Structure 1
Amino acid sequence: MNATDRTPADLLRSALAADPGRPLVTFYDDATGERVELSVATFANWVAKTANLLQGDLGAEPGDRLALLLPAHWQSAVWLLACASVGVVAEVGGDPAGADLVVSGPDTLEEAAACSGERVALALRPLGGRFPQPPAGFADYAVEVPGQGDRFAPFVPVDADGPGLVVGGEELSYAQLVDRAREDAAKRGLTAGSRLLSGLGYDTWEGLSAGLFAALAADGSVVLCRNLDRLSTEALTARTETERVTHTAA
């Protein structure tokens, strides 16, 4: 992390320059048994491809509003950073009818169809798998993203003081987001190498911070757990030890 970093994309670039091979996001879904571990380099590659899809194929521009209808998931984290890379405002749980674009999981497709702009659907299947049948009116993320470029450059520089994220009815600029993430990291005692396990959803700032931004701001990593309530106390203890968790938010 550099003191001059003012956007989430800046934080990711600094992490990539410092240690591309270290873990950044380790994801568990305790309903399916899925586990995915993404290094900084792998995560950044997904972000670059998604940002290229967003800016190129979907025609998104800085200031556009994207309704993000996704749960806490590693692909949700990718979309949050892709939006920040382009300058698109990610409205977590936002109203698709009032958004320029919508990104939806499999359980919110009917709601997402209210968006009159570009619509992208994620199956959220293990290993980033595609839908067996593409949802009508939606681009299947797993089909569209693999062919995108591995490097990304925004057409227009991202304004750190412009709107960046809306969650829980509160709008934050990218700079405010980064400042708050740093504050949260300090409050939690996160430092370089910290491993924060989070079972919180992505529908609040607390969940977004614990599940992504605070760890990124501290040069740490996150163990993001979906459906954590299905795990026994013994299994959670074992995971904490296996994943070398240093901090917990659940």
Structure 2
Amino acid sequence: MNASDRTPADLLRSALAADPARPLVTFYDDATGERVELSVATFANWVAKTANLLQGDLAAGPGDRLALLLPAHWQTAVWLLACASVGVTAEVGGDPAGADLVVSGPDTLEVARACSGERVALALRPLGGRFPAPPAGFADYAVEVPSQGDRFAPFAPVDPDAAALRVEDVELTAAELVERARADAAAWGLEPGARLLSGLPYDTWEGLSAGLYAPLAAGASVVLCRNLDQLSPEGLTKRIESERVTDTRT
């Protein structure tokens, strides 16, 4: 990664320039048996489409706050990078009543209704499937995102010193986030090409770093596992071998 990268969006651009075909996020849901692998290029395309949705249809911009009510999931990782691309502050587990807009999974829709701004819902179904019936008062992400553009350019440059992420009542600027991700990558010994398996939830900095930011900062990739407690020890050993995992955070 480039030393000049100061935002998560910069890190993704550098990863795309270095090797667009390599895996970036491999997602497992051990409650459903789902497995999804996204290359850097595919992940970046999802981020671009989501950022266009966020900036265009949802009219969000720098300084806005988005309550992100989603579990550790590949689509959550996409939203985190989309927010960083636009300059929106992602508040993980944030209060919808105090947010400018909210993005919710299927289990937090009632809580998300407290947001008076734009509301987006994700079904979190395999292959990014839509809701059988759209939740009242929400835009269905799976319906809205496919038609968005494959390239993204922010209306205003993203300020590295502006708030980018809030988790566990700690707020980080984009530059602080990148520095913490780099420090974690160094502390965990992540090298370019490494494969980090994370079973940590996304409601802590450690979970977010292990499940996205540190591998991205290191030129590595993540095997992101949801409901890992439903996998047997033998199954975990087999996954570590088959996915060529070099480090684990569970």
Give yes or no for TM over 0.5.
yes
CA deviation after TM superposition for structure 1 residue 70, in Å = 0.1
CA–CA separation in structure 2 for the residues paired with 1:159 and 1:138:
30
1:94 is aligned to 94
CA deviation after TM superposition for structure 1 residue 177, in Å = 0.1
Give the aligned residue type for 1:45. N
1:245 is aligned to 245
CA deviation after TM superposition for structure 1 residue 205, in Å = 0.1
Secondary structure of 2:171's counterpart equals strand
CA deviation after TM superposition for structure 1 residue 48, in Å = 0.0
Give the aligned residue type for 2:214. A
CA deviation after TM superposition for structure 1 residue 192, in Å = 0.1
CA deviation after TM superposition for structure 1 residue 109, in Å = 0.1
CA deviation after TM superposition for structure 1 residue 39, in Å = 0.1
Q: Please state if 1:226 is matched with 2:191.
A: no
**What pairs up with 1:140-219 in 2 under 5 angstroms?**
140-219=140-219
CA–CA separation in structure 2 for the residues paired with 1:211 and 1:17:
21
Give the aligned residue type for 2:133. Q
Q: Which runs of 5+ in 2 are unaligned?
A: none
Give the aligned residue type for 1:142. A
RMSD of aligned alpha carbons = 0.2
1:39 is aligned to 39
1:29 is aligned to 29
1:132 is aligned to 132
Give the aligned residue type for 1:147. S
Give the aligned residue type for 1:235. G
CA–CA separation in structure 1 for the residues paired with 2:100 and 2:66:
6
CA–CA separation in structure 1 for the residues paired with 2:237 and 2:149:
40
Aligned residue pairs total: 250
Question: Which runs of at least 4 in structure 1 moved beyond 3 Å after TM superposition?
Answer: none
1:3 is aligned to 3
Give the aligned residue type for 1:37. E
Give the aligned residue type for 1:172. L
CA deviation after TM superposition for structure 1 residue 57, in Å = 0.1
1:122 is aligned to 122
Q: Which runs of 5+ in 1 are unaligned?
A: none
CA–CA separation in structure 2 for the residues paired with 1:204 and 1:26:
20
CA–CA separation in structure 1 for the residues paired with 2:17 and 2:204:
30
Secondary structure of 2:82's counterpart equals helix
CA deviation after TM superposition for structure 1 residue 173, in Å = 0.1
**What pairs up with 1:52-67 in 2 under 5 angstroms?**
52-67=52-67
Identity %: 83
TM-score by length of 2: 1.00
1:73 is aligned to 73
